[in-house]
Homo-oligomer: A and B are copies of this chain.
Amino acid sequence: MPKIVDHNERKIKIAEATWNVIVREGLENASVRKIASEANLSVGSLRHYFPSQSDLFLFSMELVSERVRKRIENKNDDKPPLELFQEALLEVLPIDEDRKIEMEVWLVFSAKTLVDRRLEELSKNVFIQMRTGIEKIINSLDSLQLLKEDVDLHVEAIRLHALIDGLATHHILHPNTLTNEEMILTLRYHLQSLCKEV
């Protein structure tokens, strides 16, 4: 009967336009009008897919976490575990332009998290998922007896988690001072330092 548009596909397109505006002009200038214009839509049309700006922002932030999650899931090769873990963790770092954009958007929304309950909820869930994943990696390394003897598994998970986000944030905010190479090198160095000598 009527014109049919794939809602989810369209919403993703709008969310990507939101990313663009945020990266170019910042969250405080990401008005509904600018986003609609960036997506080549009218404001009324955009609001047909996102009833409110809050919905749009929530979906746009959520899209970042989905992209990252899918990327990690596609990494299930049959490589040696240490190498596989290393690659999975590297997926979370902003190692190329696409990932830098996503991380930058995530960073900006994370700040808003402090005064936005809906974004806070999402942020918390993703944080716990990430922590759980890192704990699994640490525990797996331990089960494989690859870790040094005197490590504290719980603290090591916290440390690795903080290190990854710290490196990512530093590279996003100061790409010239903390280069891509240093970021990757430091993560590898850290993982090596956890493991027994070869």
List chain A positions with a Cβ less than 8 A from chain B: 23-29, 104, 107-108, 110-116, 123-124, 127-128, 131, 152, 155, 158-159, 161-167, 169-170, 172-174, 177-178, 182, 185-186, 189-190, 193
Contacts A128-B177, A169-B169 given; 5 further ones with Cβ under 8 A?
Answer: A113-B173, A124-B174, A155-B189, A162-B167, A162-B169
7 shortest interchain CB distances as A-B pairs: A166-B166, A162-B166, A26-B115, A111-B111, A162-B167, A165-B166, A108-B111
Task: Name which residue of chain B comes closest to A172, CB basis.
Answer: B114
Query: How close is A29's CB to chain B, nearest CB, in angstroms?
Result: 8
Bound-complex Cα distance A108 to B107 (A): 10
**B159-A170 in contact (CB<8A):** no
**A112-B28 in contact (CB<8A):** yes
